[in-house]
Amino acid sequence: MSPTSWRSRPPSERAILAGRPGRSERPGRSERDGEGLAELRLLAETAGADVRGEVLQRRGPIRSSTFLSKGKIEEVRALSAEQESSLLLLDEDLSPAQSRNLEAELKMKVVDRTGLILDIFSRRAHTREARLQVELAQLEYILPRLTRMWEHLSRLGGGIGTRGPGETQLEVDRRRIRERIAKLKRELTRVVKERRVQRRGRRDCFKVSLVGYTNAGKSTLFNALTRAHVYVEDRLFATLDPTTRVFAAGDGERALLTDTVGFIRKLPPKLVASFRATLEEVAEADLLLHVIDCMEPDIDAHINAVEGVLESIGALGRPRLLVFNKLDSLTDEVAALGLRARYPGAVFVSALTRGGLPELREEAMRTLRRNSNGGARPNERRGGDP
Ligand SMILES: Nc1nc2c(ncn2[C@@H]2O[C@H](COP(=O)(O)OP(=O)(O)OP(=O)(O)O)[C@@H](O)[C@H]2O)c(=O)[nH]1
Ligand SMILES: [Mg+2]
């Protein structure tokens, strides 16, 4: 794979999906009925792909050289010929060698999960901060792949036009990428500092951050609670940049609410690291509102994925309130009662119909007061940085 080739593809490239069925997928379904890899399909569509079929690799040992078994590779080959597709999107992270082997066997472009998520982020990054963060993650993803690609060329026997010039070109490319990475890191360090200064200015306020799986409805809830107009879309990663607004005020106290980037299962660690400037806000919040889509079939997997990211950014210890959103869609009374019984401390809302919002605001403020030094207001609290 040319590391950058898939970034410049036309908007609706025909794609075949492959991966292991998720835990929430129902057994016994056919592999082409569109249910097997629901999240990958959403990611693919968000990236602008025209999904033409799915191939499921059942549980069991994988073929280490290509991840997919020989039989599955044949299936992908047949399906892609039938659908005239030249792109395979894999729901797993491949080593550089695996993606190279798979591309060689299939003679089609292969993009793994991290590659796909990075592609979506690069399409979504509009502000300077987001672009810096995404570019850093992309270059760090590309760098080891570049190395392996050129090593592979050298191993093929070198000879005229490959070995000598190949190695030279590899060194040049690697040096350029390393230099760019160093420059991006310096710029991001400046962004981190700017954000810290901004937050210092808000020391006297309670700080609340919305966190949650992508598409859970964080931005919709943010708009409903603050009357802001943050962009909302039924696609993944609509939000990359944080926005902060006043969300409650009164009795000499103010709480600020921040909407930020959503999380997903297997969010690339490099991407999380690159988003340090954005995610520090979360790590320093007085309260996290963990928004969950109550229609999600595997709620616990989503909660675990979010907690995994929170842990990796040092925010798992922050006070947290579970907020089940989209209650308007949950028409099954028994399921609604079941959820309330399973998560007794949670708040249930509909950002769309604004149901449950007063209760959420009250519960959030109650939790903030309880956690802030025995009821003192934020400007009376001890301590330096917010
Ligand atoms: N039925 C229903 N749909 C909702 C509700 N809240 C949000 N949605 C829809 O869910 C989709 C995602 O909403 P967003 O607010 O963009 O979700 P998000 O969590 O900010 O997503 P990312 O920024 O992509 O991580 C949109 O189509 C919203 O209209 C709700 O309470 N009920
Ligand atoms: Mg959003």
Mutation to probe ligand 1, out of 221, 231, 232 (largest number of atoms < 8 A from CB): 232
pLDDT classification of 227: cutoffs 50, 70, 90: confident
Write down the pLDDT at residue 253.
81
Q: Do domains 5-111 and 204-380 have the same CATH topology?
A: yes
Q: Go through the chain and tell me how many residues it has.
A: 386
pTM of the model: 0.86
Nearest ligand to the CA of 306 is 1
Q: What is the layout of strands, in order, in the sheet containing 109-111?
A: 50-56, 14-19, 87-90, 109-111
Distance of alpha carbon 152 from alpha carbon 166, whole angstroms = 10
pLDDT classification of 147: cutoffs 50, 70, 90: low
**Mean pLDDT to the nearest integer, 352-363:** 95
Separation of CA 123 and ligand 2 centre (Å): 15
**Mean pLDDT to the nearest integer, 230-240:** 90
Residue (of 215, 231, 230) closest to 265 by Cα position: 215
Q: Got the DSSP string for 146-178?
A: HHHHHHHHHHTT--TTTHHHHHHHHHHHHHHHH
Nearest CA to ligand 1 atom 9: 217
Architecture field, domain 5-111: 3-Layer(aba) Sandwich (3.40)
Residue 383 has pLDDT above 50, yes or no: no
Dihedral angle, C-alpha 302, 303, 304, 310, nearest 10 °? 110
Q: Residue ranges of the alpha helices (H) in the chain? A: 38-46, 70-83, 96-106, 113-124, 128-155, 163-200, 218-226, 269-274, 276-283, 299-312, 333-342, 357-371
End-to-end CA distance of the chain: 46
pLDDT classification of 153: cutoffs 50, 70, 90: low
Per DSSP, 327 falls in state G
Name the token pair of 226: 């603050």
Write down the pLDDT at residue 27.
40
Residue (of 345, 339, 356, 278) closest to 313 by Cα position: 278
Write down the pLDDT at residue 311.
95
Residue 362 has pLDDT above 70, yes or no: yes
Give the pocket of ligand 1 (CB within 6 Å): 212, 214-220, 232-234, 236-239, 262, 325-326, 328-329, 350-352
Taking all residues of the chain, what is their mean pLDDT, rounded to a whole number? 85
Nearest ligand to the CA of 218 is 1
Name the token pair of 49: 């792909």
Architecture field, domain 204-380: 3-Layer(aba) Sandwich (3.40)
Write down the pLDDT at residue 6.
45
Separation of CA 235 and ligand 1 centre (Å): 9
Backbone angles phi and psi of 67, in degrees to 5 = 65, -55
Rg (CA), the chain: 23
Nearest CA to ligand 1 atom 25: 214
Q: Is the pLDDT higher at 169 or at 234? A: 234
Which residues surround the ion ligand 2 when the cut-off is CB under 5 Å?
Answer: 218-219, 238-239
Q: What are the respective helix, strand and coil percentages of the chain, to the nearest 5? A: 50, 15, 35
Separation of CA 297 and ligand 2 centre (Å): 20
Nearest CA to ligand 1 atom 2: 326
- When mean pLDDT is compared across 88-102, 163-177, 210-224, 327-341, the lowest value belongs to 163-177
Please check whether residue 279 is in contact with residue 272, taking contact to mean a CB–CB distance below 8 angstroms: yes
Where in the chain are the domains? 5-111, 125-189, 204-380
pLDDT classification of 216: cutoffs 50, 70, 90: very high
**Mean pLDDT to the nearest integer, 213-224:** 96
Q: Is the pLDDT higher at 247 or at 349? A: 349
Percent of the chain with pLDDT over 70: 84
Per-residue pLDDT tens over the stretch 168-204 = 777 888 888 999 999 999 999 999 999 889 888 887 8
Distance of alpha carbon 230 from alpha carbon 218, whole angstroms = 10
Separation of CA 348 and ligand 1 centre (Å): 15
Per-residue pLDDT tens over the stretch 238-256 = 999 889 999 877 777 889 9
Q: What is the layout of strands, in order, in the sheet containing 320-325?
A: 243-250, 253-259, 206-212, 287-293, 320-325, 347-348
pLDDT classification of 276: cutoffs 50, 70, 90: confident
Which residues are paired to 68 by β-bridges? none
**Beta strand 253-259 pairing with 243-250:** antiparallel
Residue 16 has pLDDT above 70, yes or no: yes
Residue 104 has pLDDT above 50, yes or no: yes
**Mean pLDDT to the nearest integer, 12-34:** 64
Please check whether residue 72 is in contact with residue 55, taking contact to mean a CB–CB distance below 8 angstroms: yes
